Structure 1
Amino acid sequence: MGTPFLLERYRRDRRNLLEFLFSEGLIRAPSRTSIDLAGLDLDSISADYVLDCLESGEEFDPSEATRRYFDGLKYPIMLNSSSTNSYYFVSEPEISGSPPRRAAPRLSSGMKITTNGTSSQVAKHDNLIGRDVGISGESRTKGVATADEPSRLLEDKDILSLGLPGLSTGISDDEIRETAYEVLLACLFCGGKVHFPEEMKKEKKTNFLKGLRSKREGLSSFPVPEDSHSDFLDIIRVQMEISEATNAFIRKGSRLSNLREMNEQIDVPCISLNLISVLYKLDFPSERLRMQWQRRQANILEELLGSVNMDSKMRETLQILLRKLRSIEEKVSDVYDGFFEILSLIKRYASKLSSMPGKYGFQSKAYYRTASYQFNIKLYEKLLYSVFDILEDGKILEEADEMLEVYEFTWSTLGITQKLHNVLYAWVLFQQFIKTGEFLLLKLAVLEMQKVLSHKNDEGTEEAYISSLICSVESYGSKRFLCLVDAIFFKIYLWCCYQLEDYHLHFAQEKSAIFGSVVNLAVLTQTTSADECAENKYFGSMAGNIPEWKLFHFFIVKSIQAAFKRACSLAENQSSVELKHPLAIVAHELKQVAEKEYTAFYPVLCQKYPKSGKLAFILLHLLYGERLKPFLEGLTHLSESVKEVLAASNTLELCLAHKLSSIYGDNVDSSATKYVHPYQISHYCAPLVLQWIHAQHDNILEWTKRAVEIEDWEPLSSQQRQAKSAVEVFRIVEETVDQFFSSNLPMDIIHLRSLLIGIVRSLEAYLLHIVNQQVDVTMLYPSTPALTRYAESIYPFMKKKFVQLTTLEEKMTFQLNTLTGPKLCVKLNTLHYIRDQLDTLEDTIKHSWNLVQSGFGLADYFSRISNGKSSVDVNVNLSACNGSVDELFALFDNVRRGAVTTSKMMLDFIGPRVIFWDMRDSFLFSLYRSSVNSARLEIFIPLLDQVLDRICDLIIDELRDQVVLKIFQASMDGFIWVLLDGGPSRAFSEADVPLMQEDLAMLKELFIANGQGLPFDVVEKEARLARQILDLFALKADTIIEMLVSASEQTAYHLKPTTGGRSCANDAQTLLRVLCHKKDGSASEFLKMHYQLPKSSDYDDIPSKEERTSTSPILSDIFRGAASGRRHPCDVGAAGRRRPTHPPPVPTFLSNSHCRHQCEETSKY
């Protein structure tokens, strides 16, 4: 931000604060009256004095405040900083000579450094002034330090300075502003556009905010008459920060002067001299203000009159007159009779100069247009700056157009033409845009510049005049002398170059609209070819000979290079902090640069330079590739840092390929392809990725074995009923899959196959562990008691025979005890969870692989364009790859089949486990023992109900019906076992059949559960065999014997029975056992006569607790000839359900001697 802007901001803020303090009544007025702000010059009172009055509560004295202010001007300004103190000299350093060579004396440690009130106050205000903020919101100082801009731009201390000739008298910015207001009032009064009344009514405004009343009341919405321009003077006064006291005596001077009676063109010296001649001491609110004003007028006259090439004697005389004019304190003729003589001599000089012949076709009396053009231009700039709202620097007043029309009355006095107005207004708008960043100002500046370019000169007269307005500008290490219009164009162009040579730094993502306007402004103001800026080291032939293309080619190359250097510098600083490799950080930063280039800058640049995207993305690829190549050549193993670099590099290359492909496809100029060098990440990392996958195989397998070995097969929670080991295994697998696909490394189908093999190996090991924990289901079934015929015991106290049982091994017993019903439920849930997770995992891998394959064509994009190939072959390879991937996932089918088989094994085991092992005492060994009435099924039902409730709480809904069905099937098998293989202690009469049928119905109702359990038809189907066997017990013994004989004849001459299991209740095995357990004398006689079976009263089949886990070979000894052909109760029949195991049917060819032999073998036990 330039010095004028800082002074303007400081002055406005200072005035606002003082007005607030006075208007709020915080400062005590003399005699407790209110302070009249209209008669108080806030710019000429000491802020330190006001603050002292506020703090101490003393009364405010305006004269003391003014005295303190001017006394403070005699001291140098000092700024305090953290390191040292800075002083501003009152005198000019150039005149003072070189500084002393000796070292400054050191201050003693006890010395206290103090500053006067004025300097400290200035320091405080200076701290409120911010840095020059660029478009992106960052300070320009910061941008210079990080962007590595060209040194030629950095050497310009003020890139926005026009280089107008300096003012020899050192007139301040405030004095120029007040002079511009005086000139405006004089021109309006002289032109008859403003009429001042004789008696000026005192306005009752107390602060400058009321000066904007016309804006808030919508004054501009009403038509303004041609002779009513004075309506805007109040707004202009406030905008130009002219106090009401100053405005009062300026208006009075304009009214009393004779400018309106002059029939010739007025100029600035004429205005100053007329004002000096008509204003007296009483017209000013204070003597100090009058002296300041009179000195300012003398300086103006010296500036304008002294610029003429006159002889030394005349110049010396003029300086003496002006010196006397400055020293005169009052115009009282009887005391200072020389005042009017001095004034008359100065007027004579001014009139002589103004009557000199005009140049460039202008009329006479227009000498000061060219002789003092720099002063006139500064005056007009001050007028133009007043169109900006002083409350909001970035806003233009609603009355701006009317104000500009008013300012046209000053054109003839200040030498302004339409073209000069447009270019100066564009310059003012542009500077205000730089100050505020308001986009509308930039758009208006562009429009004004377009008007300048479209302006037609009047037969060369105006062009010659404008060419005489010379400015001195420095750039590219040399000084140039340009006319005012060219200087403004050149300065704006230099600023655009400064921004566009690093547009990635200066324009944020949301500033794309501003970027577009700056690009248009650079095109409008282009005065230097790209060849003069720098050599195009990269892709110079792409731009051809089109100047505009070469210019933006230069901008893109410089900005990309600057962004790359910033990324490298950032990586060096952050790599040690973030513990990342610098190349990985650089790649990440360049990817963001590419995204920003594609979304924000390319849509604008491609309109000016169609190859802009191609240049930017290929250059990014090239610059990073130069850094990456040495790293790739030194790779030996896939460490974490190497993985980060490879992944980031591959991501960057895919990103750049995607941007280029989406814009240009495969149509890349041959002039750029020679700079394309693919990174070939896949060539370097393919073996390293495969090595990493193999290491993950062992890691997953080790974790799987560890998890399953310590598994206790308890549910994870009430909602998650699977084992925690399965969750852990899939967590490890998913983490590996995520690492595989999130690595952003190029991969092919070999890597995917190796990954799937590792997953399958781990899951198969998990399933194998579950299978190895299983026990053969045959171990669950109790020993089959000896076949006997019913007979009442004649001697109840006779010692009975016992069956010798074989005890199970301790290891087998331990395994059976660990396979409880709840644990089996958890295992079934886990197997189902494995199948579900496997499906999810497959979908996830396929989706991730498809995403990887979507970039398959981009992976070798740079290779294709460097070799001139098309993308047709890529599509063919992609289709073939997709077919091979579908075949790879068949590996998961092996795991699915293994899980299904293991689940079936569990289901076949859980029913017999519950009935034949857990409940053998309460069910198998207790039901109907000795008599039906004393051991009914109703005792067993509550226990079974509790078991079902527990299992239903543990098993998932998808498996509940299957598990319950298996338990029901085992219940039917156990019920049939009691009826047919219950041993010598179980014998049933025809009267017992209704009771047993009731028990069967009770058992079925338990599993139907009022429609909430198993389906009715399924229960009836499974209970059909038990119902048929009960019906056999209801038949007469003779009928059953006839059925047995008939069934035996059907199996005649069959040495081995069929292996399909008992398909009905009418086979020989079932009928024989019904006769053995039928409480009937004829049945007993038949069995004694034909089978020589022993009496049931001779045996005791109640086993001890240890013997209940044993097996017996009795049944196999009796039916040894057919033992190899029978099926176990777990076996599946033709109908797909489990059937109880019983001896095979006895063939009719068995002789009595053969039966007798079997009985003798039995009697041995």
Structure 2
Amino acid sequence: MGTPFLLERYRRDRRNLLEFLFSEGLIRAPSRTSIDLAGLDLDSISADYVLDCLESGEEFDPSEATRRYFDGLKYPIMLNSSSTNSYYFVSEPEISGSPPRRAAPRLSSGMKITTNGTSSQVAKHDNLIGRDVGISGESRTKGVATADEPSRLLEDKDILSLGLPGLSTGISDDEIRETAYEVLLACLFCGGKVHFPEEMKKEKKTNFLKGLRSKREGLSSFPVPEDSHSDFLDIIRVQMEISEATNAFIRKGSRLSNLREMNEQIDVPCISLNLISVLYKLDFPSERLRMQWQRRQANILEELLGSVNMDSKMRETLQILLRKLRSIEEKVSDVYDGFFEILSLIKRYASKLSSMPGKYGFQSKAYYRTASYQFNIKLYEKLLYSVFDILEDGKILEEADEMLEVYEFTWSTLGITQKLHNVLYAWVLFQQFIKTGEFLLLKLAVLEMQKVLSHKNDEGTEEAYISSLICSVESYGSKRFLCLVDAIFFKIYLWCCYQLEDYHLHFAQEKSAIFGSVVNLAVLTQTTSADECAENKYFGSMAGNIPEWKLFHFFIVKSIQAAFKRACSLAENQSSVELKHPLAIVAHELKQVAEKEYTAFYPVLCQKYPKSGKLAFILLHLLYGERLKPFLEGLTHLSESVKEVLAASNTLELCLAHKLSSIYGDNVDSSATKYVHPYQISHYCAPLVLQWIHAQHDNILEWTKRAVEIEDWEPLSSQQRQAKSAVEVFRIVEETVDQFFSSNLPMDIIHLRSLLIGIVRSLEAYLLHIVNQQVDVTMLYPSTPALTRYAESIYPFMKKKFVQLTTLEEKMTFQLNTLTGPKLCVKLNTLHYIRDQLDTLEDTIKHSWNLVQSGFGLADYFSRISNGKSSVDVNVNLSACNGSVDELFALFDNVRRGAVTTSKMMLDFIGPRVIFWDMRDSFLFSLYRSSVNSARLEIFIPLLDQVLDRICDLIIDELRDQVVLKIFQASMDGFIWVLLDGGPSRAFSEADVPLMQEDLAMLKELFIANGQGLPFDVVEKEARLARQILDLFALKADTIIEMLVSASEQTAYHLKPTTGGRSCANDAQTLLRVLCHKKDGSASEFLKMHYQLPKSSDYDDIPSKEERTSTSPILSDIFRGAASGRRHPCDVGAAGRRRPTHPPPVPTFLSNSHCR
């Protein structure tokens, strides 16, 4: 906002503030009387003095207030703050040179020093005035600080000045405003031709008018006009900031003048002279106001009458008359004749000038239209400004249309035509828009400009008259003389150029509507000399010879260049603060410029210049490429700063390619392709990215090995039951994947394959570590005692033979002890977690890769348009690439298969680990030992229940049934082992069978768990063999012997045996073991006669705690079958001592003497 507008606003606010203080009775008047505001010149009163009176309660002295005001003007303006005082110099400090070297003068003894070090005399300055001048001083200081660039204030001040001829008498804006109001009232009262619109009613007032008048109605001593239009005129008065006192004597003068009786056209000098002749001293509220008004009238007459080309003698005579008019203080008897004589001479001179022949086809009495047009234009501008709400500059009054109709009565007096009105109103709207930024004002200004362009001239008369209204404007260092209409067009056009030459700076994202109106305004006001502001252009051939295209071509180039310079300057300042490479910051800023161009500016510019987007984005690409090229040529390694620059550059190029492709596709004309130079980021960074991926391989593998080696296989939490090492490994993998895809670097399928290989290597190393910790499941099974026949001991104290058991190595024992059930559960959970995370990781990588490939066609967009190729080949290459990517992810299948195999191995291990290792003493070596009644299964059930509860708490729901099933299978294997391979201490009679069947049912119920455990049919299927073996023990010995003989004959004649693992209980080996553990004499005799088996009473098979499983190949074979085909150890035959001399036929599996 320009300085004149600020000063005018602050002066008005100062008056309102002082008027409020006086009207509220806060200031004491002399002799306790009310203060007459009509007699005070508020512009010449010290605000500091008023505030002092308010604080101290002293009486207000108008003379002292005036003296203090003028004394304060002698000192520099100062702003007081808590830290120091700031002074504003009238002159520029740089121009003044160095400070004086002489010592400062001492302060006088009578001068009081304030606490902050300044003299009290200087401190008594006018605060309100100080604020006014301080703002202009601040702007001046800023202008000095940025001397290398013209300040915005100076540019606005120059643009908002029409260059009208100056006023020789220096009449102020306030005086012009009051004169405009006088002319308006005179025209309205002249001839009685005033006709207001019918819809105007007395009660229609604006809210601001009610607010302003509420404080004044009690103090005003002037009668309310009886005119029916007084309210409407009151609105105009308030809008033009005319006090009621001034309004009263102006209206009185208009009514007392003889203007109504004049049949000729009135002019401004005539109005001024008539007012002077009819107003007396008593008509004014104060002598000071009368003197000011009379001096103003004399200045107006001098301005209008002195503008004529006259000889020196006539000019001197006029000056003498006007000087005398100013000096006459009142119309008293001794000077009355002299006053009217002077006034008569001036009237005669003015009448002579106004009767001169009119120009440009106008009738007589129109001399002052052209002779003093600058003054008339300023008067009409003041009238037009009154349509804006004084309380809110950006708003137009509801009565604006009616006010403009009233102002038409001044057209003949001020020389205004319809075209001049439209262009001046557009100018006023435009200036008010610049001050307030209100979008509606700009739209109205555009509409008024369109009216001006559509106006038809009246046979050249009006055009000739308008052409005579000359303005002097400066542009680009040269002065030009234009008519008023052209000057307004040119000034508006210059402002539009100033804004549009850097529209990225002047228009925010949300101001796209304002930008569109400014573009339209630039098109409307474009002059034939628009090319004068065009400097060096990029891609000049793109615009062709269309003036409008060339204009916006110039705007786009200038704005993009300015945005690029700002980005470079910002990067230089921020690179050291943010520790980023300047090129990365520049690329980021230019990407934002491109986004703003695409969303906010291109939709508007493309309507005026279809190639605007092409020009903007290619120019951004070119300007940054010139900075980037030296950097790319010096690359040697992929550091963080290099990575930032490459990523930012690639992102910028893809962004620009996307914008261009979405608008133009591949249809970029040849005039621009010669300026397209692809960055070729992939060419420079491909080997560097591959090098970085290989380095990540080693990092991931090292972290994986470190994490799994220190793993204690405890669950991460009650909700996350996998090992923390797996979480850590996938965290490292995901971070690497995120870094890979978030790098925003161009990548191909080779980079992706290398990344996947590194991930697979790390996960395979993790699985291998788990496998290496495992122990062969056969190491869990106990040694099989020797086969014996039942026989009671005759000599209890006879020394018995001990079964020879093989002990495990210490290392193997340590491994078995570390593979506890809870740790195995955590490992199973971890393997399942690996498979789930691998699926998620694959989906993530595929999604990220698809996003990368979505820009595959854009990666070489600039290369294609520079070579003139299409995007058809790109789609073919993209399809082939997608097929190769699907094959790459087959690498993850190896990890999945490894995880499944390892899980199966551990599932096969956990059941025997719980039954045959953890519970071997309480179950295998205790159940049914010596007698069934003394060692029932009910003792073992609570322990197994606790183990199952612990495992179910640790294992995840997806694996719970599988783990429990494996434990149940191992329980059945252990139960069968007790029945068939329990050793010499276990022998079962037919009476024991019901008890053992009850125990089997109890064990099944434990795993069924009232329907919440394993399914009933699964449990029955797994327990079938144990039930069949118990049924054999219920048979008579002779029946079992016959079955054994039959089974042995089938084996001897090579009959096909029954297959199916443990599905058959009638094979020879099972029947033989049933006879060995049957408490029956005939069975014992049969075994003694045919197999020469020793008596059970001769052996002691109670193992020590240090004894472990046998490592015989036969036993390993047995339990390897139980692990894979779920064959029981007794499914493979053991050997007897020697073949009996009398049949039954000996089974072929009885080939060794001490097994089973």
TM-score by length of structure 2 reads 0.91
After alignment, is 143-152 or 389-398 more displaced?
A: 143-152
2: distance between equivalents of 1:379 and 1:217? 29
1:1028-1075 per-residue CA deviation (whole Å, 9 max, x = no partner) reads 110010000011111111111111155998996443111111111100
Sort the Cα spacing of 1:1135 and 1:253 in 2 relative to 1 into closer, same or farther, 3 A.
Answer: farther
1:287 is displaced (CA, Å) by: 1.5
Partner of 1:87, secondary structure, is strand
1:859 is displaced (CA, Å) by: 0.4
1: distance between equivalents of 2:281 and 2:413? 28
The runs of 5 or more residues in structure 2 that have no matched partner are none
Assess if the C-alpha contact under 8 Å between 1:46 and 1:66 holds in 2. Answer: yes
1:804-838 per-residue CA deviation (whole Å, 9 max, x = no partner) reads 22221111111011000000000000000000000
After alignment, is 283-292 or 543-552 more displaced?
A: 283-292
1:58 is displaced (CA, Å) by: 1.9
1:210 is displaced (CA, Å) by: 2.3
After alignment, is 1005-1014 or 281-290 more displaced?
A: 281-290
Sort the Cα spacing of 1:708 and 1:63 in 2 relative to 1 into closer, same or farther, 3 A.
Answer: same
2: distance between equivalents of 1:934 and 1:156? 112
Query: Corresponding residue for 1:657?
Result: 657
1:454-510 per-residue CA deviation (whole Å, 9 max, x = no partner) reads 111111111111111111011111000111110000000000000000000000000
1:827-873 per-residue CA deviation (whole Å, 9 max, x = no partner) reads 00000000000000000000000000000000010011011100000
Assess if the C-alpha contact under 8 Å between 2:1037 and 2:1075 holds in 1. Answer: yes
1:983 is displaced (CA, Å) by: 0.6
1: distance between equivalents of 2:1041 and 2:91? 144
Partner of 1:897, secondary structure, is helix
Assess if the C-alpha contact under 8 Å between 1:567 and 1:589 holds in 2. Answer: yes
TM-align CA RMSD: 5.8
2: distance between equivalents of 1:1030 and 1:49? 121
After alignment, is 521-530 or 809-818 more displaced?
A: 521-530
Sort the Cα spacing of 1:806 and 1:1062 in 2 relative to 1 into closer, same or farther, 3 A.
Answer: same
1:1151 is displaced (CA, Å) by: 9.6
Sort the Cα spacing of 1:393 and 1:156 in 2 relative to 1 into closer, same or farther, 3 A.
Answer: closer
After alignment, is 150-159 or 166-175 more displaced?
A: 150-159
Assess if the C-alpha contact under 8 Å between 2:716 and 2:722 holds in 1. Answer: yes
1: distance between equivalents of 2:181 and 2:1138? 113
Query: Corresponding residue for 1:566?
Result: 566
Sort the Cα spacing of 1:948 and 1:204 in 2 relative to 1 into closer, same or farther, 3 A.
Answer: closer
Sort the Cα spacing of 1:970 and 1:1109 in 2 relative to 1 into closer, same or farther, 3 A.
Answer: same
1: distance between equivalents of 2:1139 and 2:768? 28
Assess if the C-alpha contact under 8 Å between 1:997 and 1:1027 holds in 2. Answer: yes
After alignment, is 438-447 or 345-354 more displaced?
A: 345-354
2: distance between equivalents of 1:573 and 1:665? 37
Assess if the C-alpha contact under 8 Å between 2:677 and 2:863 holds in 1. Answer: yes
2: distance between equivalents of 1:275 and 1:320? 20
Assess if the C-alpha contact under 8 Å between 1:1059 and 1:1127 holds in 2. Answer: no
1: distance between equivalents of 2:398 and 2:242? 20
Assess if the C-alpha contact under 8 Å between 1:1044 and 1:1072 holds in 2. Answer: yes
Sort the Cα spacing of 1:526 and 1:83 in 2 relative to 1 into closer, same or farther, 3 A.
Answer: farther
Give the total of aligned pairs. Answer: 1156
After alignment, is 594-603 or 298-307 more displaced?
A: 298-307
1:220-268 per-residue CA deviation (whole Å, 9 max, x = no partner) reads 9999999955442100111111111111111111121111111111111
1:583-615 per-residue CA deviation (whole Å, 9 max, x = no partner) reads 111100000000000000000000000000000
Sort the Cα spacing of 1:139 and 1:749 in 2 relative to 1 into closer, same or farther, 3 A.
Answer: farther
Sort the Cα spacing of 1:936 and 1:219 in 2 relative to 1 into closer, same or farther, 3 A.
Answer: farther
1: distance between equivalents of 2:960 and 2:1043? 41
1:344 is displaced (CA, Å) by: 1.6
Assess if the C-alpha contact under 8 Å between 2:46 and 2:126 holds in 1. Answer: no
2: distance between equivalents of 1:974 and 1:427? 105
Assess if the C-alpha contact under 8 Å between 2:988 and 2:1079 holds in 1. Answer: yes
Q: Identity over aligned residues, as a percent? A: 100
After alignment, is 410-419 or 45-54 more displaced?
A: 45-54
Assess if the C-alpha contact under 8 Å between 1:77 and 1:118 holds in 2. Answer: no
After alignment, is 782-791 or 335-344 more displaced?
A: 335-344
After alignment, is 356-365 or 854-863 more displaced?
A: 356-365
After alignment, is 195-204 or 1085-1094 more displaced?
A: 195-204
After alignment, is 593-602 or 1112-1121 more displaced?
A: 1112-1121
Partner of 1:604, secondary structure, is helix
1: distance between equivalents of 2:475 and 2:325? 42
After alignment, is 815-824 or 803-812 more displaced?
A: 803-812
Assess if the C-alpha contact under 8 Å between 2:191 and 2:262 holds in 1. Answer: no
Assess if the C-alpha contact under 8 Å between 1:800 and 1:1098 holds in 2. Answer: yes
1: distance between equivalents of 2:436 and 2:1138? 89
The runs of 5 or more residues in structure 1 that have no matched partner are 1157-1165
Assess if the C-alpha contact under 8 Å between 1:530 and 1:550 holds in 2. Answer: no
Sort the Cα spacing of 1:971 and 1:895 in 2 relative to 1 into closer, same or farther, 3 A.
Answer: same
Query: Corresponding residue for 2:887?
Result: 887
2: distance between equivalents of 1:91 and 1:330? 42
Query: Corresponding residue for 2:396?
Result: 396
Query: Corresponding residue for 1:878?
Result: 878
Assess if the C-alpha contact under 8 Å between 1:805 and 1:1112 holds in 2. Answer: no
1:138 is displaced (CA, Å) by: 16
1:270 is displaced (CA, Å) by: 1.2
Sort the Cα spacing of 1:1151 and 1:384 in 2 relative to 1 into closer, same or farther, 3 A.
Answer: closer
2: distance between equivalents of 1:1141 and 1:582? 102
1:3 is displaced (CA, Å) by: 3.1
1:98-118 per-residue CA deviation (whole Å, 9 max, x = no partner) reads 999999999999999999999
1:1-53 per-residue CA deviation (whole Å, 9 max, x = no partner) reads 22331122102221332244345443335565665656655445332222111
After alignment, is 111-120 or 1047-1056 more displaced?
A: 111-120
1:596-646 per-residue CA deviation (whole Å, 9 max, x = no partner) reads 000000000000000000000000000011111111111111111111111
Assess if the C-alpha contact under 8 Å between 2:704 and 2:729 holds in 1. Answer: yes
1:1103 is displaced (CA, Å) by: 1.0
1:696 is displaced (CA, Å) by: 0.3
1:55 is displaced (CA, Å) by: 1.1
1:1001-1030 per-residue CA deviation (whole Å, 9 max, x = no partner) reads 100101110000000100100001101110
1:121 is displaced (CA, Å) by: 13
1:752-784 per-residue CA deviation (whole Å, 9 max, x = no partner) reads 000000000000000000000000001111111
Sort the Cα spacing of 1:452 and 1:1073 in 2 relative to 1 into closer, same or farther, 3 A.
Answer: same
Sort the Cα spacing of 1:205 and 1:922 in 2 relative to 1 into closer, same or farther, 3 A.
Answer: closer
Sort the Cα spacing of 1:207 and 1:814 in 2 relative to 1 into closer, same or farther, 3 A.
Answer: closer
After alignment, is 245-254 or 106-115 more displaced?
A: 106-115
Sort the Cα spacing of 1:1083 and 1:288 in 2 relative to 1 into closer, same or farther, 3 A.
Answer: same
1:71 is displaced (CA, Å) by: 6.3
After alignment, is 61-70 or 892-901 more displaced?
A: 61-70
Assess if the C-alpha contact under 8 Å between 2:78 and 2:130 holds in 1. Answer: no
Q: Does 1:305 align with 2:317?
A: no
Sort the Cα spacing of 1:800 and 1:251 in 2 relative to 1 into closer, same or farther, 3 A.
Answer: same
Partner of 1:744, secondary structure, is coil
Partner of 1:722, secondary structure, is coil
1:779-807 per-residue CA deviation (whole Å, 9 max, x = no partner) reads 11111111100000000111111012222
1:705-739 per-residue CA deviation (whole Å, 9 max, x = no partner) reads 00000000000000000000000000000000000
Assess if the C-alpha contact under 8 Å between 1:1128 and 1:1141 holds in 2. Answer: no
After alignment, is 604-613 or 1048-1057 more displaced?
A: 1048-1057
Assess if the C-alpha contact under 8 Å between 2:1052 and 2:1145 holds in 1. Answer: no
After alignment, is 1139-1148 or 1025-1034 more displaced?
A: 1139-1148
Partner of 2:126, secondary structure, is helix
Assess if the C-alpha contact under 8 Å between 1:148 and 1:562 holds in 2. Answer: no
1: distance between equivalents of 2:1142 and 2:458? 127
Sort the Cα spacing of 1:199 and 1:881 in 2 relative to 1 into closer, same or farther, 3 A.
Answer: closer
1:538 is displaced (CA, Å) by: 1.0
1: distance between equivalents of 2:1056 and 2:111? 125
1: distance between equivalents of 2:388 and 2:454? 26
1:155 is displaced (CA, Å) by: 7.3
After alignment, is 137-146 or 486-495 more displaced?
A: 137-146
Assess if the C-alpha contact under 8 Å between 2:778 and 2:1119 holds in 1. Answer: no
Sort the Cα spacing of 1:304 and 1:1003 in 2 relative to 1 into closer, same or farther, 3 A.
Answer: same
Assess if the C-alpha contact under 8 Å between 2:1122 and 2:1128 holds in 1. Answer: no
Sort the Cα spacing of 1:222 and 1:25 in 2 relative to 1 into closer, same or farther, 3 A.
Answer: closer
Sort the Cα spacing of 1:92 and 1:776 in 2 relative to 1 into closer, same or farther, 3 A.
Answer: closer
Assess if the C-alpha contact under 8 Å between 2:39 and 2:285 holds in 1. Answer: yes
Query: Corresponding residue for 2:412?
Result: 412
Sort the Cα spacing of 1:101 and 1:232 in 2 relative to 1 into closer, same or farther, 3 A.
Answer: farther
Partner of 2:315, secondary structure, is helix
